[in-house]
Amino acid sequence: MFCPSPRYSIPKNSEKYNKHCTDTRRHMKMHFVLIHGVCMGAWCWYKLMPLLRAAGHHTTALDLSGCGSNPRRLNEIVTVHDYLEPLMEFMTSLPQGEKVILVGHSFGGIGVSLAIQKFPEKVLFAVFVAAYMPNCSSPILTVIEETFKRTPLEDFLDTTFRFDNAAQSLPTSIILGPDVMAKKFYQHCEPQDLELGKMLVRPNGLFCEDLAKECLLTPDKFGSVGRVFIICEEDQMVKADFQQWMIENSPPKVVKSIPGADHMAMLSKPEQLCLRLLEVTDLLCAN
């Protein structure tokens, strides 16, 4: 788990955000559980967490196996279940009757989806921030395959891929290089956030063999939980047309967008992302 840096100060210059904070304090306190994307860690939410807390909510950011400060190494993480173990252990630990709001970014949408499938009774709703959002009728791998159909390997610039499974054409693991991070992930972020990302990036498995299995998600479990998709309009990695494809392929209850957001919306547009989360919380929890 991650505690945000005290060096990040909460912005005070947004009338809309400050009004929403005041309004939401009057309502029930929610618990947002934040799941990072590929090669990242809980650290990437350090700007968003104090904003949600200032609005009166509780937050938890998790390091998945081999990510952030988690001690496991890539060669120790064999399956997607190994990778998601911190998330599943956290969900198991929740008291009976407690429900959380799962927020997944990028590859983190897969973890969110599998957590919904295993613990539908513990999820109030789920938010996918430019995140992989699968459906029940196709293997989860479909969204990864779509990535590589739309984005040839050369467009990943200095990303390093490993192909350790001769039986499949997709990579088995990935580590982002500084050039792709600067141009396609963090292009609207402050320079210090890009440098932080470059310092903390770690290799990540893709678990394609596991995710190719049928029926990992079912309508009675995954399909029973409301979903929200937040479009990052200037995302150069998961581009807007791909985000729209996932929305059409697995329709959520609510779609929001963030103008000017790159792939790392929690760093480039934290206040706007917080506002979208507060808006959908008000909307979906109105009753």
- Return the half-sphere exposure (C-beta side, CA atoms, 13 A cut-off) of residue 90: 25
Query: Given strand 160-162, what is the order of strands in its sheet?
Result: 160-162, 173-175, 204-205
Whether residue 111 contacts residue 65, with contact meaning beta carbons closer than 8 Å, is answered with no
Q: Which of 263, 285, 16, 267 is nearest to 129 (CA)?
A: 263
Which residues are CB-contacts of 98 (< 8 A; sequence separation ≥ 6)? 31, 122
Cα radius of gyration (the chain): 18
Which residues are CB-contacts of 201 (< 8 A; sequence separation ≥ 6)? 39, 40, 175, 176, 181
Q: How far apart are CA 89 and CA 168, in angstroms?
A: 30
Whether residue 136 contacts residue 241, with contact meaning beta carbons closer than 8 Å, is answered with no
Q: Which two tokens stand for residue 192?
A: 């210090």
Q: What are phi and psi of 39, to 5 degrees?
A: 65, 5
Which residues are CB-contacts of 256 (< 8 A; sequence separation ≥ 6)? 228, 229, 230, 231, 276, 279, 280
Catalytic residue numbers read 106, 235, 263
Q: Which of 249, 213, 253 is nearest to 230 (CA)?
A: 253
Question: CA dist 1 to 59, 70, 108, 186, 283, Å?
Answer: 10, 9, 15, 23, 28
